Amino acid sequence: MSYQFTIVVPVYNEEDNLKRVEEELTKYINIASKKTKVLFVNDGSKDKSQDLIEEICTNNPDFTFISFEKNCGLSAAITAGFNNTDTELVGYIDSDLQTAPEDFNLLLKEINEYDLVTGVRANRKDSFVKNMSSTIANGIRRTFTHDGMDDTGCPLKVIKTEYAKNIPMFKGLHRFLPAMILLQNGKIKQIPVQHFPRIAGEAKFGVWNRLLGPLMDCFAYLWMKKKYVNYQIAKKG
């Protein structure tokens, strides 16, 4: 049976988390509702992440990787993962594992009727400041995009690959994935998922880039929405 679902795992200096990622995603592959493989995207890590990734992929035929020459950011890593996917469905999870791989099955249950299904972090286990800044940022984004999503920063998503590959690339993209599917006249849905504290490694986003980044990116989104080209072929000769 060929693979049906690819999980993209962006990695930037996550050497302390990668063994746990291997264990948890291996467990998930064994219970996944779709035949699943994992694609690490090493975003120019400066620690031992690449060595660990290569070791994991050598030991597990369901794991593979691509590695950037230098750090390009989360949006670039996600986009590269989408563009290097050859399955009909693609998902995304952070390597800090603050969300649970088994919750992919909740999203996969709905993906036939939708083009993107995203998690909403229930009972978030982050600090008050982090939760509040995310709430404000999501409110700003909803005002601009009208996507109806409560938590686009949730690092647990499933997308039909044909839609994922058509998402225009720009920095901050990871905050606008549902809105980008709507631009393609796709259907989106959100589902509550589990959330856990970060066990190891360091968070890559602070208060300011959770607030100022989304605000600036909203204007980029409005420009893109105005200029976006969307068409459907009715007939071929």
pLDDT at position 200 is 66
pLDDT at position 206 is 52
pTM, two decimals, is 0.82
pLDDT at position 174 is 77
Extract the tokens encoding 138.
């999501």
pLDDT at position 27 is 97
What is the identity of the amino acid at 4? Q
Q: Which CATH number fits domain 5-227: 3.30.450.30, 3.90.550.10, 3.30.1150.10, 3.40.50.720?
A: 3.90.550.10
pLDDT at position 201 is 53
> Is the separation of the CB atoms in 6 and 90 below 8 Å?
yes
pLDDT at position 36 is 98
d(CA 9, CA 145): 26
- What residues does each domain of the chain span? 5-227
What parts of the chain have a pLDDT lower than 50? Answer: 207
Extract the tokens encoding 237.
């000769």
pLDDT at position 205 is 52
pLDDT at position 137 is 65
Closest CA to 184 of 202, 167, 204: 167
Q: What is the pLDDT of residues 24-52, one digit of tens each?
A: 999 999 999 999 999 999 999 999 999 99
pLDDT at position 216 is 73
> Is the separation of the CB atoms in 178 and 138 below 8 Å?
no
Phi, psi dihedrals of residue 67, rounded to the nearest 5°: -135, 130
